[in-house]
Structure 1
């Protein structure tokens, strides 16, 4: 299908009056290219259909963990993009949105986008706003952790944000930071003595989500702090099971080395 779409997007060449005798050959070549693209697309569709029909090479239930991760990761009903995160920190700015837009954003949106100046102004307007949950139970800290806004996370913690807060489906700042692979935020939260093995409604733990995302450094940090390797998600996968099923070889090596160290220390 991708080949067909690419073929349809190609602009038609302008008429060439000097070499009109070569046009039939170009048409023939174009037809062959389109036919080859269609054949390749059909082959990909057939292969995909074979996998869906029951190819045992992929993890049959690890997709459950992928599908059941907090809807935050898919951006449902929240107009933010992961590709835009960390922009403020990287550029050294505290404000990135247009002034006219800032006034319409909630404290949760400001936290997720890293709008520190405006967020601070909002928090001054009332008590306990720093830990105010939205309709799904996400606090500003959970949003900031989920979108990798490390400076916002640091400031929110200094302003009294609760790192132990859980959303309605037991989502936590630690789990969502682990899902995104934001190791610095994970370390910062662990220094606040959050539950490293906290589980959500899907049975997912920070370590399971870090493994699922193939976040090697994050897995290392969690294991170094004592994350439980035996905890299973509701799908039945342990962290090692999930790493093997997904083919994350570097994560597998990290887990194997950690297990070896545990045995050597006994």
Structure 2
């Protein structure tokens, strides 16, 4: 191996191919041509004297060498970005690029106000938004693929993660207004008899709902699942079952039911890697979020 031939560009191409699973998709991510991506991968393979990908039609699969290289490549790129940001922070003006991972729900219902405030106060600040579920957002922070994530905060955070609550949601049971006259009227009885529409089983929101239902002796069957609360609201409104949503999402076509147990809540907030450089731009975004 000849380490002097390693380049940032080849490592960026390598990580992009691993993440997307295809040279063409990696080219789109990095705004390059596919031949340019192929050339960078070939250069990296020549330097390492090892193949990095097994071709499977239009898709590629990382080799064992690639699997071992991947965490080191991510760390190198993260450190380089931190160096660039530290130099940018020498200026008095807040500027630079922040990679922000956010759930669709937060982006739709919580982020517009802070985004407008940030744009007005920091016109030279560039936000690159990536939409993903909360669990994936935390993973992106750990991998170094995002500088900050806005997510539903899990009960147990990894040791390298720093997080703070910005918003709190109260989750309440809802049904379609057209089904409110149907019996039984008792919420618990409805949950026993009607299909439930719930978030995915591996999500923090689902765990909070199931813990509260379990305290009432209930294990409802999930007729439908969706990671998107807006989709769940649509399915409830169509009369497909009963579901739990933030109280703020109640609309004219939905009825909020009484809940006899303790309030079901979840915390939404920002997440970052505690061991990485906390730039002035990250602090500016956090300040805008917390002064909402």
TM range (shorter): under 0.3
Greater share of strand:
2
TM-score, reference length from structure 1:
0.27
TM-score, reference length from structure 2:
0.25
Greater share of helix:
1
Structure with the greater relative contact order (CA < 8 A, sep ≥ 6): 1 or 2?
2
Q: Return the index of the structure with the highest Cα Rg.
A: 1
